[in-house]
Structure 1
Amino acid sequence: MSTVIIFASKSGTAEKCSKMLSEKLPGEVKVIDIGKNPNPDFSDYDNVIIGASVRAGQIQKAIKEFVGKNLDSLKSKSVGVFLCMGGDRSQFDEYLKQNFPGEFLDACKAKGFFGGEFNMERLGFFSRTIVKALSKGKPIPKLFEENIQAFADSFKK
């Protein structure tokens, strides 16, 4: 069984989660940053996992375009999707629906809420300022490794 994880990440959280997930999956696993490889070939893989981070309710444009352009091919694979985001799981389903076509979501074997984290070193000044202002007095986001493991387990079956 072979798996490709195609992700987009602004501050590095989706990249970190993609690598963590890759270590938990069986067989050959390749991790591809769509920012560095905008047209990845996934034809030789059994499983395709799409990962993105959420900012102001939106995922990266490159992931939206990739899924839209490859929808029919993706539906012929065993697919999954995960989101990295702060806050709690309550907005997860809403963010999936507003960022991905229903046909894609219906085809997904697994949908994962992996949590989030602030990686201030990778954010620009403007983004750091906004994050600090919006997060004041709120719980610090964290990654949920148990969710990553549960997601990986769904691809072992």
Structure 2
Amino acid sequence: MAKALFLYSSREGQTKKILNVIKDEFAEFECEVVDLHTLRHQLDFSQYQRVLIGASIRYGHLNKKLYQFIEHNLAQLEQSKVAFFCVNLTARKEEQGKDTPEGSAYIRTFLKKSPWQPKLIGVFAGALYYPRYGFFDKMMIKLIMTLTGGETDTSKEVEYTNWEKVSLFAQKFKEL
């Protein structure tokens, strides 16, 4: 049976949720899911026919552990069938193209900072989980959402993820 490795960096869980939806579309693969933040050993990509990395934006940045992982595994990333997706709240603005690699400022920054240049990149809108946030995060995210025209009711949880788009990305990933 073919194997796939799914790696993620998630703060509130939406990136992992998206990754698991993609994983469900890989029924013909034996899938291993690994949190980049808890990874304690070197991975051998040659065991996998596909590798997917998903990471979320928090306060405008991807987690530094993602960049460290890329630096330590650059040769394997460049030699394997690997895709990348980024989850952020700005991608909710699909009508402005913020949900595309070309229209995402976060992807442009990632591609400038990263020595790895993925062949397949997805950009998905995340979710607001106001009731789950601590006071500081709740107020900061509310301020950001006020400035960007988003949801500011801190009693709500709002999922912006376009699941159809996630499914289309999963199909492209299978075809790598």
When the two structures are superposed, what TM-score results if normalisation uses the length of structure 1? Answer: 0.86
Q: Which runs of 5+ in 2 are unaligned?
A: 152-158
Tell whether 2:121 aligns with 1:120.
no
Tell me the equivalent position of 2:61: 58
SS at match of 1:118: strand
2:107 aligned partner, one-letter code: L
Matched, 1:98 2:109: yes
User: 1:83 aligned to 2:95?
Assistant: no
Count of aligned positions: 155
Matches within 5 A, 1:29-44: 29-39=31-41, 41-43=43-45, 44=47
- Equivalents in 2 of 1:113, 1:133: separation in Å? 23
Aligned residue type for 1:95: Y
The answer (yes or no) to whether the contact 2:70–2:114 under 8 Å persists in 1 is no
1:129 equivalenced with 2:130 (yes/no): no
Contact kept, 8 Å, 2:67 with 2:114, in 1: the verdict is: no
Deviates more, 1:21-30 or 1:69-78: 21-30
**How big is the shift at 1:121?**
4.2
- Which secondary structure does the structure 1 equivalent of 2:139 belong to? helix
Q: State, as a whole percentage, how many aligned pairs show the same letter.
A: 23
Look up the equivalent residue of 1:45 and give its one-letter code.
Answer: Y
Give 3-state SS (helix, strand or coil) of 1:114's partner.
strand
1:8–1:122 Cα change, 3 Å: farther
TM-score, normalising length: structure 2: 0.77
| Partners of 1:34 and 1:40 within 8 A in 2 | no
CA RMSD of aligned residues (A): 2.2
Q: Distance in 1 between matches of 2:71 and 2:64?
A: 11
Unaligned runs of 5+ in 1: none
Bigger shift: residues 92-101 or 64-73: 92-101
User: CA–CA distance in 1 between the matches of 2:18 and 2:162?
Assistant: 10
Is the alpha carbon distance of 1:42 and 1:120 closer, same or farther for their aligned partners in structure 2, counting shifts above 3 Å? farther
CA distance 1:124–1:38, shift in 2 (3 Å): farther
Residue 139 (1) aligns with residue 147 (2): no
Which residue pairs with 1:24 in the alignment? 25
- RCO higher in 1 or 2 (8 Å CA, sep ≥ 6)? 1
